[in-house]
Chain A
Amino acid sequence: MLVEFGSFSLALALAFSLLQAMLSATARVRRSTTLAAAGEGAAVAAFLGVAGAFAVLIHAFVVSDFSVANVAANSHTEKPLLYKVAGAWGSHEGSILLWCLALTGYGAAAALLSRSLPRGLRALMVATQGVLGAIFLAYTLFASNPLVRLVDPPVEGRSLNPLLQDPALAVHPPFLYAGYVGMSVVFSLAVAALIEGRVDAAWARWVRPWALAAWSLLTVGIMLGSFWAYYELGWGGWWFWDPVENASFMPWLVAAALLHSAIVTEKRGALAGWTVFLAIAAFAFSMLGAFLVRSGVLTSVHAFALDPQRGVLLLIILGVTAGAGFSLFAWRAPALSPGGVFAPVSRESALVLNNILLAAATASVLLGTLYPLIREALTGEAISVGPPYFNLTFTPLMAALVLLLPAGPLLAWKRGDAMGASQRLWVAAALAVAAGLGAYALVSPRKALAAAGVALAAWLIGGAIAEIFERIRAFRVPGAESWRRLARLPRGAWGMTLAHLGLGVFVLGAFVETGWKQEVAETLPLGGSVDVGGYHLALEGIASVEGANYDAERARIAVTRAGAAVCQAEPERRTYFAGGQTTSEVALCYRGANHLYVVLGERRDAAAGSVWLVRAYWNPFATLLFFGPLVMAAGGVVSLSDRRLRLGVAARRREANPQEQPA
């Protein structure tokens, strides 16, 4: 009964989304505040409808109601509660429902939180959000309903794939989808602005908080996914340039470009057309991600089970939505005002260059991801594009971006002073060169590329600190004055500095981990040992362990360095009752920011006794790979909390106090 209520609730949500679109659009045409308010009410009702259906689905998973097809296919009575709940979004149908929940949730939030927007723009935004909601809800309801009943319910479910039974992966999809779908508000704002024919500084200020929130959530989501792949797949790597990873990375790159170009539009009124274009592209790439992951057109190590028919439907949705957005852009963008002029050396130019590089990087990732499809369509040959392509194309573009990055925030708007900026950066430059040379000379084995990466990271971190020093006029005014300035720095400035610092931390981790990681794979009998990265690993024992829904072999590996005990690594190899699938539980020994990563492989029974395959990696600075993105996301959140970005506050303050100019 409850399940039928959930389906009904979902259908209601679809009806409310349609109503939301029609009421709000009519409100714009008739200029009626009553209709607009009704449209906003419908947006909230649509969200409540989806939330009801979602709650029903989670309930069905928690009580193991195997009469629901999706529960039977993805759950099991013996599964721990956390994974029963997470199972609700572990499958195609459930994850699309989560997508709809986020979409209508953003729709409701956008309707409620945008009181300061001009009425027309607001009504059009709510209408567009309604159209998007209706499209995805219709898809969910008619092509991928997670609440469909089985005629003949099984006694036991087929269980969620064991690899997905992991805390990081339980929270990865909600973050990722909140990020993906957050771009829908940006998209709706862009469409509304194009219809209204007005893209100005105020519009850019409304776009920024949504883009920031979505980008920060997406950053955390991608980081969680990468961390999961790192310790759950047991391959020792954290990024494989797999199509599914690229699918989430492309909207992130576009959103990062959008954040920067929106600043130019907000502060200087320039780049309006480009900012709108990016706003549309960000959501288009999010949908492309959803399509690539679910359609199975690309071979990936972590896609959902393939379903070409639904893939075609999603492709149609992508084509129609993105096509409509871009067509509207092509039609209306020429009418947008061109905006202010600026000198070749200026903050604007630096941000334009940032956008060019980010766009080129996105394009090269897109090409690499889709090239197998293009090639197969043209010549019929099956190929795959691997990490070497991405290292060759993406890395140089990012290196150029990183080289230019510290200079940007030090240049003034309109006309910058290149000499002045370089004078302020010489300490950072010296630091970077010293760090690079030091890493090259002192760390063995010698790696030129990794050392160059260390220099780049030092340049970023030093540049971010130099920028803060510049803002507080450190060492040029009395210390007390500097402190006063530091305390009064706007949150937006802190946010930017944090995000750039986070990038520096990530770059450091990426180059050091890639350059100096060590790997060994050995078969060890009991009492056997192996060395990696200066550590001595001895296999002391193997124990049988019983988990909630699996049996496991757990190794006890004593790790020592120069005779002194360091830690006890206990990697497991699990065999799940349901499906008989085996997985490896990696053991991580944290040594500062470095990881000792130990995987227990298969048992091989030989005449002389059993041996176990043990793989161990020494991953220097690996913690930074995940800490850096967290710092970046924290930068986004801090920036989001800036008073000036809070909707309406800036406008109201200016009315109350016309002299005070926001810095």
Chain B
Amino acid sequence: MSLLPKSPKARRRLMLLAAIAPVLALSVGLALWGLGDSVSFFYTPSQAEKAQPPAGRSIQLGGLVAHGSVVKHSDGAVEFTVQDKQAVDKVVFHGDLPDLFREGQGVVAVGAFRQDGVFEAKRVLAKHDERYMPREVAKALKEQGEWRGDGATPAYGAPAVKGGV
């Protein structure tokens, strides 16, 4: 008892501190660990080419679904390419595409690159809104000077005259 301060007020403050300190340490520690480890970066294909994320590292790949690139296999697998102005990446995905997945529209694929450079998506996100362009995709396209306003498709995303689907 002699180590504790005499006044009840100071003693209460000390108690409170003793209770808060471990919780604070625990939560700050966990937060830093979590933010270091489980944050996933967003790249467009050309950004991914520059950053070279290691195979297996979870990232998000965003861009436009190239016209005529979507191949649906009867075993449930889907292949398509995601592109920005400078680069393209091949994406494979097993499962149900989101209801709003369209060629020429923006998507975000969550997953990781394989050793062979193909992106294996665990989830493909498009949004509830048919006028939707994922925010990161919109921003990246704007930086490349390829933004035509909401809902408009950049020229290279438009269907090719001969090979359109």
Query: Which residues on A are within 8 Å of B, measured CB to CB?
Result: 161, 163-164, 234, 296, 299, 301-302, 305-306, 338, 341-342, 344, 349, 352-353, 356-357, 360-361, 363-364, 367-368, 371, 375, 381-386, 388-390, 392-393, 396-397, 400, 521-523, 579, 581-584, 599, 601-602, 604, 606, 608, 611, 613, 615
A163 touches B23 (CB 8 A): no
A360 touches B40 (CB 8 A): no
A611 touches B23 (CB 8 A): no
Bound CA span A501–B154, Å: 55
The reply on B156 being an interface residue by CB < 8 A is no
> Which residues does chain A contribute within 8 Å of B100, judged by CB atoms?
581
Query: Would you give the shortest CB distance from B1 to chain A, in whole angstroms?
Result: 12
> Which residues does chain B contribute within 8 Å of A353, judged by CB atoms?
19
Who on chain A is nearest to B16 by CB?
Answer: A352
Contact A523-B35, Cβ < 8 Å, known A344-B15, A397-B23, A615-B96: no
Bound CA span A604–B74, Å: 6
The reply on B50 being an interface residue by CB < 8 A is no
> Which residues does chain B contribute within 8 Å of A302, judged by CB atoms?
128
Query: Would you give the shortest CB distance from A553 to chain B, in whole angstroms?
Result: 13
> Which residues does chain B contribute within 8 Å of A371, judged by CB atoms?
35, 39
> Which residues does chain B contribute within 8 Å of A383, judged by CB atoms?
39-42
The reply on B31 being an interface residue by CB < 8 A is yes
B127 touches A301 (CB 8 A): yes
Contact A386-B135, Cβ < 8 Å, known A356-B23, A364-B30: no
Bound CA span A615–B125, Å: 17
> Which residues does chain A contribute within 8 Å of B131, judged by CB atoms?
305
Contact A299-B134, Cβ < 8 Å, known A381-B41, A606-B74: yes
Given contacts A368-B35, A384-B39, A599-B96, 16 further A-B contacts (CB under 8 A): A299-B136, A301-B127, A352-B19, A363-B27, A371-B39, A383-B39, A385-B39, A389-B34, A389-B35, A393-B27, A393-B30, A400-B23, A523-B75, A584-B96, A602-B96, A613-B76
- Could you tell me the dominant secondary structure of chain B's interface residues? mixed
Query: Would you give the shortest CB distance from B32 to chain A, in whole angstroms?
Result: 9
Nearest 7 A/B pairs, CB to CB? A388-B38, A382-B42, A606-B74, A389-B34, A601-B96, A392-B34, A360-B27
Who on chain A is nearest to B72 by CB?
Answer: A604
Query: Would you give the shortest CB distance from A515 to chain B, in whole angstroms?
Result: 19
Who on chain B is nearest to A574 by CB?
Answer: B99
> Which residues does chain B contribute within 8 Å of A606, judged by CB atoms?
74
Bound CA span A388–B122, Å: 15
Contact A523-B96, Cβ < 8 Å, known A306-B135, A383-B39, A385-B38: no
Bound CA span A400–B60, Å: 33
30 contacts between A and B (CB under 8 A): A161-B128, A163-B128, A296-B135, A299-B134, A299-B135, A301-B128, A306-B135, A344-B15, A360-B23, A364-B30, A364-B31, A371-B35, A375-B39, A381-B42, A382-B136, A384-B60, A385-B35, A386-B40, A389-B34, A390-B34, A392-B38, A393-B31, A397-B26, A523-B75, A579-B130, A583-B99, A604-B74, A604-B76, A613-B96, A615-B96
B72 touches A602 (CB 8 A): yes
The interface centre, meaning the residue of B38, B58, B72 with most chain A CB atoms within 10 A of its CB, is B38
> Which residues does chain B contribute within 8 Å of A583, judged by CB atoms?
99
Q: Pick the residue among A234, A360, A388 that contacts B37 (CB under 8 A).
A: A388
B76 touches A360 (CB 8 A): no
The interface centre, meaning the residue of B15, B24, B34, B42 with most chain A CB atoms within 10 A of its CB, is B34
> Which residues does chain B contribute within 8 Å of A367, judged by CB atoms?
31, 35
Query: Which residues on B are within 8 Å of A, measured CB to CB?
Result: 8-9, 12, 15-16, 19-20, 23-24, 26-27, 30-31, 33-35, 37-42, 58, 60, 72-76, 94-97, 99-100, 108, 125, 127-132, 134-136, 139-140
Query: Would you give the shortest CB distance from A260 to chain B, in whole angstroms?
Result: 15
Bound CA span A407–B109, Å: 46
B27 touches A397 (CB 8 A): yes
B95 touches A613 (CB 8 A): yes
Contact A364-B40, Cβ < 8 Å, known A302-B128, A382-B136, A521-B96: no
Bound CA span A582–B99, Å: 5
Bound CA span A352–B15, Å: 11
> Which residues does chain A contribute within 8 Å of B19, judged by CB atoms?
349, 352-353, 356
> Which residues does chain A contribute within 8 Å of B40, judged by CB atoms?
383-384, 386
Query: Would you give the shortest CB distance from A587 to chain B, in whole angstroms?
Result: 15
The interface centre, meaning the residue of B20, B26, B99 with most chain A CB atoms within 10 A of its CB, is B99
B34 touches A393 (CB 8 A): yes
Q: Pick the residue among A338, A382, A393, A521 that contacts B94 (CB under 8 A).
A: A521
Bound CA span A601–B140, Å: 31
Query: Would you give the shortest CB distance from B96 to chain A, in whole angstroms?
Result: 4
Bound CA span A225–B141, Å: 33
Query: Would you give the shortest CB distance from A42 to chain B, in whole angstroms?
Result: 39
Query: Would you give the shortest CB distance from B4 to chain A, in whole angstroms?
Result: 10
> Which residues does chain A contribute within 8 Å of B15, judged by CB atoms?
344, 349
Bound CA span A306–B128, Å: 12
Bound CA span A392–B8, Å: 37
Query: Would you give the shortest CB distance from A177 to chain B, in whole angstroms?
Result: 19
> Which residues does chain B contribute within 8 Å of A342, judged by CB atoms?
12
Who on chain A is nearest to B150 by CB?
Answer: A306
Q: Pick the residue among A356, A375, A396 that contacts B30 (CB under 8 A).
A: A396
> Which residues does chain A contribute within 8 Å of B60, judged by CB atoms?
384
B38 touches A389 (CB 8 A): yes
Query: Would you give the shortest CB distance from B69 to chain A, in whole angstroms?
Result: 17
Contact A164-B34, Cβ < 8 Å, known A521-B76, A581-B100: no
Who on chain A is nearest to B44 by CB?
Answer: A382
Bound CA span A344–B17, Å: 12
A584 touches B99 (CB 8 A): yes
Who on chain A is nearest to B75 by CB?
Answer: A523
Bound CA span A338–B58, Å: 50
A522 touches B34 (CB 8 A): no
Contact A368-B129, Cβ < 8 Å, known A299-B136, A583-B99: no
> Which residues does chain B contribute within 8 Å of A384, judged by CB atoms?
39-40, 42, 60
B37 touches A356 (CB 8 A): no
A388 touches B34 (CB 8 A): yes
Bound CA span A388–B36, Å: 11
B139 touches A382 (CB 8 A): yes
Contact A389-B125, Cβ < 8 Å, known A299-B134, A360-B24: no
> Which residues does chain B contribute within 8 Å of A599, judged by CB atoms?
96
Query: Would you give the shortest CB distance from A375 to chain B, in whole angstroms?
Result: 8
Bound CA span A583–B126, Å: 13
Bound CA span A521–B19, Å: 48
Query: Would you give the shortest CB distance from B133 to chain A, in whole angstroms?
Result: 9
> Which residues does chain A contribute within 8 Å of B23, judged by CB atoms?
356-357, 360, 397, 400
Q: Pick the residue among A301, A344, A360, A385 that contacts B125 (CB under 8 A).
A: A301
> Which residues does chain A contribute within 8 Å of B73, judged by CB atoms?
604
> Which residues does chain B contribute within 8 Å of A581, judged by CB atoms?
99-100, 130
Who on chain A is nearest to B47 by CB?
Answer: A382
Bound CA span A342–B31, Å: 32
Q: Pick the residue among B20, B58, B74 that contacts A611 (CB under 8 A).
A: B74
Bound CA span A394–B76, Å: 36
Bound CA span A161–B126, Å: 14
